[in-house]
Amino acid sequence: MSNQTVQPHQQASSLWSSRLAFILAAAGSAVGLGNIWKFPYITGENGGGAFVIVYLICIAVIGVPVLIAETMIGRRGGQSPVGTMRSLTESEGVSRGWRAIGWNGVIASFLVLSFYSVIGGWSLVYIGKAAAGAFVGADADAIGAQFGGLLGNPWELLAWHGVFMAIVIFIVAKGIRSGLERAVNLLMPLLFVLLIAMVIYAMNTDSFGRAVSFMFSPDFSKLTTQGVLTALGHAAFTLSIGIGVIMAYGSYLPKRVNIAGTAMTIAVIDTSVALLAGLAIFPLVFSNGLEPGAGPGLIFVTLPLAFGKMGGGIVFGAIFFTLLLVAAVTSAISMLEPVVEWLEEHKGVSRVKGALFGGLAIWFIGLGTVLSFNVWSDVHPLGFIGYFEGKTVFDLLDFLVSNLMMPLGGLAIALFAGWAMKREGLSDDIGLRGGIYTAFMAVLRYLTPAGIVVVFLYNFF
């Protein structure tokens, strides 16, 4: 390979059709189960307000700068994360060690999809349940039992995980414009509208005030150091940063698009969706006497209760879970993308075959997550280490990807863009000038890495 920056994706035919298309696709990647399923349940598990504040700080100080840097790196390299990091280390004349960023991405996106898709399968099941009226008139116990019944059945989980993966493989195989763009254009805005409707419903319960204070009045005595790491990991997870996904999407971004403005827009959309989801869900948790720390089943137990009680709940519920599915699919396709790009570039397989082989392998690895909720629910592979006590295979995978690979990938990206890359053209590339650019670079070079390092030091030493 020459030491010039090669940019195969920067040909007009494979670029996003507009800035809006990129925003929608990147927001489609960012907004997903992380916002609607994970954010509420980890907020509940970590005691509420203090966790939310740390999460918001992590978004601002770590998430947004890394999002900007990763998009910029992706556009400059114009290839899969592995190819991009290879050509940038050559053109910048820096150590080949930085290429680990690309590898970390391909491996992490592979692993994250293996468990994400299992939860995606739950949303498929819940579309059917809602449409069939399974929640009508059901009380908290009955709805809890329905969810428990699903988790207890590995075959059913495996089958729906398979259906979810099949949808993702199909869309990715069709390619960036026809597949990815079309899927997000209409459905993302619709999800937003429906969430607002859910919040309005929740405002009319008697527990809205309690939910707001749970989410926003901080009680730092409830926040552990592991909770702080979870907040940092979730800031990375929810913005899809640190593992090459944004780098892969950035490789299709036209030169004229302003990266900083675009990244800010994406972060604002993503954070609003998470906060709205919390405001929709916690009032229902409190008004039904449920436990905020109930874990991964939280939305699958609270929302059906509301749908079961409200007029038109069958239609409303079915639409809601359909949109949850769409949000999950648009994130999942972004996780498969780096794997497929890598297979295309380095193994010479076609896009269709890459999607199929990659997808099948991911489906298989998903078995570990499927079994974590039933047959292996008492298997704690690292239970002998105090820190990982009680963690199932699913918990460990989530921890590995969300709390280690994504933040550490983010750290490496911040260091690479802030310290290793040459400064020429950077300000234009990012789309910031003058004092704002200087301030941004200071954050990226010092504050972002320091934030990540400090959280890690507190957790592990």
Please, which residue, 29 or 262, has the CB nearer to ligand PFF? Answer: 29
Which one of 146, 238, 287, 392 is in contact with ligand PFF (CB under 6 A)?
Answer: 238
SS3 content of the chain, % helix, strand, coil (to 5): 80, 0, 20
- Per CB under 6 A, which of residues 400..459 are in contact with ligand PFF? none
216-242 as b/e: b if 16+ CB within 10 A: eebeeeebeeebbbbbbbbbbbbbbbb
Residues touching ligand PFF, count (CB under 6 A): 16
d(CA 358, CA 56): 34
CB-nearest residue to ligand PFF: 34
Does residue number 33 form part of the binding site for ligand PFF (CB under 6 A)? yes
d(CA 343, CA 284): 45
Q: How far is the CB of 77 from ligand PFF (least distance, A)?
A: 17
Q: How far is the CB of 435 from ligand PFF (least distance, A)?
A: 31
Does residue number 369 form part of the binding site for ligand PFF (CB under 6 A)? no
Region of 14-22, 146-154, 235-243, 390-398 interacting with ligand PFF (CB under 6 A): 235-243
Q: How far is the CB of 322 from ligand PFF (least distance, A)?
A: 16
Region of 55-63, 76-84, 240-248, 345-353 interacting with ligand PFF (CB under 6 A): 240-248
Which one of 35, 123, 230, 330 is in contact with ligand PFF (CB under 6 A)?
Answer: 35
Does residue number 102 form part of the binding site for ligand PFF (CB under 6 A)? no
Does residue number 80 form part of the binding site for ligand PFF (CB under 6 A)? no
Region of 26-34, 186-194, 376-384, 389-397 interacting with ligand PFF (CB under 6 A): 26-34
Q: How far is the CB of 240 from ligand PFF (least distance, A)?
A: 4
- Per CB under 6 A, which of residues 379..408 are in contact with ligand PFF? none
Q: Where are the alpha helices (DSSP H) in 152-219?
A: 154-174, 182-185, 187-203, 208-216
Q: Look at residues 404, 124, 392, 52 and name the one whose alpha carbon lies nearest to residue 237.
A: 404
CB atoms within 10 A of CB 76: 24
Which one of 16, 24, 28, 34 is in contact with ligand PFF (CB under 6 A)?
Answer: 34
Region of 14-22, 30-38, 142-150, 366-374 interacting with ligand PFF (CB under 6 A): 30-38
- Count helices and strands in the chain by DSSP H and E runs: 24, 0
Contact 59, 235 (CB under 8 A): yes
- Residue 283, amino acid: P
Residue 201's contacts (CB-CB under 8 Å, 6 or more residues apart) are 280, 306, 310
Which one of 79, 104, 331, 372 is in contact with ligand PFF (CB under 6 A)?
Answer: 331
In Å, how far are 1, 28, 140, 181 from 315, measured between CA atoms?
56, 24, 20, 27
CB atoms within 10 A of CB 436: 12
Does residue number 117 form part of the binding site for ligand PFF (CB under 6 A)? no
d(CA 97, CA 104): 12
Region of 50-58, 331-339, 373-381, 437-445 interacting with ligand PFF (CB under 6 A): 331-339
Q: Look at residues 317, 334, 314, 160 and name the one whose alpha carbon lies nearest to residue 239.
A: 334
- Residue 403, amino acid: N
Please, which residue, 35 or 372, has the CB nearer to ligand PFF? Answer: 35
Which one of 223, 243, 260, 301 is in contact with ligand PFF (CB under 6 A)?
Answer: 243
Which one of 25, 30, 82, 165 is in contact with ligand PFF (CB under 6 A)?
Answer: 30
Contact 345, 80 (CB under 8 A): yes
Does residue number 32 form part of the binding site for ligand PFF (CB under 6 A)? yes
Does residue number 230 form part of the binding site for ligand PFF (CB under 6 A)? no
Residue 298's contacts (CB-CB under 8 Å, 6 or more residues apart) are 37, 40, 41, 44, 281, 285, 292
d(CA 102, CA 80): 8
Q: Look at residues 123, 183, 152 and name the one whose alpha carbon lies nearest to residue 334.
A: 183
Q: Look at residues 301, 323, 406, 365 and name the one whose alpha carbon lies nearest to residue 44.
A: 301
d(CA 407, CA 108): 11
Does residue number 284 form part of the binding site for ligand PFF (CB under 6 A)? no
Please, which residue, 39 or 135, has the CB nearer to ligand PFF? Answer: 39
Does residue number 112 form part of the binding site for ligand PFF (CB under 6 A)? yes
Which one of 10, 29, 84, 403 is in contact with ligand PFF (CB under 6 A)?
Answer: 29
Does residue number 301 form part of the binding site for ligand PFF (CB under 6 A)? no
Q: How far is the CB of 65 from ligand PFF (least distance, A)?
A: 17
Which one of 43, 46, 71, 109 is in contact with ligand PFF (CB under 6 A)?
Answer: 109
d(CA 440, CA 281): 35
Q: List interacting residues with ligand PFF (CB under 6 A).
A: 29-30, 32-35, 109, 112, 237-238, 240, 243, 245, 331, 334-335
